[in-house]
């Protein structure tokens, strides 16, 4: 299993064993039933991309291309217009339409208004060891300007370390099994963003750290949580067969890794989905389905 898989299993156990149930939740399932969760506060996970620790779960298939498409709509071609997001292959924001064909002054609209990405890139290039490299989607004036879902993953902080660019991402709330959990879509897409910004600024992608202030498992996801635990147990059982075997006679262990086929110093807008390749990714099946709380 990957580092992300091990994190995920530990976090599932933590929530199931120690989590607390919410009261009067805002989200509802499609049938109108309140979408209750159990959750824990203050979850942190850390990966060193330079050592092959890419955050992707293998206990179920992750739609990594979908995640990168969404990160494009936030940071590369920032927009809040649903039709523009759909042109880039992002088709799941419809339920958050505020009535004007947008998701409100949120996400890509905030990035675009304050030119956050270009300012970040210039700061990394011109003042690499400065400690003010922050992109915040939590702009109070934007949140008050329109209705809309408040940003979940809202803050990134960037630091140069020799030849490496490190980044931490702060998330106020996370639906662990569908998006925010270890090796899930949020970690995949923000690790991809780190890889992109590092390549544009001429650095190597280094450490990616993810902090979730409140991470939840929805009540209709409990069965899938236990299925993931069973899959991890199956993987552990398989490893018994290699105990005592000469390691030189076993195939080398391979960790999945996202590779960006683009030269250092390239322009961010020139990076396409086709420039990415996921190496050595062989997730378990069948795929699991999750009902969303909206």
Rounded to whole angstroms, the Cα distance separating 47 from 169 reads: 12
Report residue 157: phi and psi, to 5°. -125, 130
> What DSSP letter does each residue of 223-268 carry, written as one string?
HHHHHHHHHHHHHHHHHGGGTTS-GGGSPPP---EEEE---TT--G
* CA gyration radius, the chain: 20
Q: Which one-letter DSSP state was computed for residue 96?
A: G
Rounded to whole angstroms, the Cα distance separating 171 from 108 reads: 16
Which of 57, 152, 168, 266 is labelled catalytic? 152
Burial of 203 (0-12, 13-18, 19+ CB in 10 A): buried
Pair 208, 47: CB distance under 8 Å? yes
Coil, helix or strand for 215?
A: strand
Q: Are strands 204-218 and 257-260 parallel, antiparallel or unpaired?
A: unpaired
Which residue, 5, 9, 16, 1, is CA-closest to 221? Answer: 16
Burial of 132 (0-12, 13-18, 19+ CB in 10 A): exposed
CA atoms within 13 A on the CB side of 40: 16
Rounded to whole angstroms, the Cα distance separating 62 from 66 reads: 9
Strand spans (E) along 133-203? 134-136, 153-161, 164-171, 174-175
**152 labelled catalytic:** yes
Active site residues: 152
């Amino acid at each position: 299993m990957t580092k992300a898989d091990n994190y995920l299993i530990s976090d599932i156990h933590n929530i199931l064993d120690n989590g607390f149930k919410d009261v009067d939740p805002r989200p509802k399932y499609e049938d109108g039933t309140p979408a209750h969760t159990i959750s824990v506060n203050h979850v942190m996970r850390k990966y060193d991309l330079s050592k092959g620790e890419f955050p992707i779960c293998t206990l179920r298939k992750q739609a990594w291309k979908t995640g990168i498409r969404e990160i494009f709509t936030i940071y590369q071609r920032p927009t809040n217009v649903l039709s523009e997001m759909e042109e880039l292959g992002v088709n799941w924001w419809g339920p958050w339409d505020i009535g004007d064909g947008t998701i409100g002054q949120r996400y890509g609209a905030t990035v675009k208004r304050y030119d956050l990405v270009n300012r970040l890139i210039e700061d990394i290039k011109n003042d690499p060891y400065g400690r003010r490299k922050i992109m915040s989607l939590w702009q109070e004036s934007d949140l008050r300007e329109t209705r809309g879902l408040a940003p979940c993953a809202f803050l990134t902080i960037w630091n140069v370390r020799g030849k490496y660019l490190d980044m931490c991402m702060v998330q106020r709330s996370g639906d662990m099994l569908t998006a925010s959990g270890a090796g899930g879509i949020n970690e995949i897409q923000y690790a991809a963003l780190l890889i992109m910004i590092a390549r544009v600024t001429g650095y190597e992608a280094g450490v990616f750290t993810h902090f979730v202030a409140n991470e939840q498992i929805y009540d209709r996801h409990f069965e899938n949580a236990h299925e993931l635990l069973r899959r991890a147990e199956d993987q552990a059982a398989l490893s018994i067969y290699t105990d005592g075997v000469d390691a030189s006679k076993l195939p080398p262990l391979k960790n999945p890794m996202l590779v960006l086929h683009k030269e250092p110093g390239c322009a961010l807008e020139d990076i396409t989905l086709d420039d990415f390749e996921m190496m050595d990714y062989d997730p378990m099946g069948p795929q699991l389905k999750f009902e969303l709380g909206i």
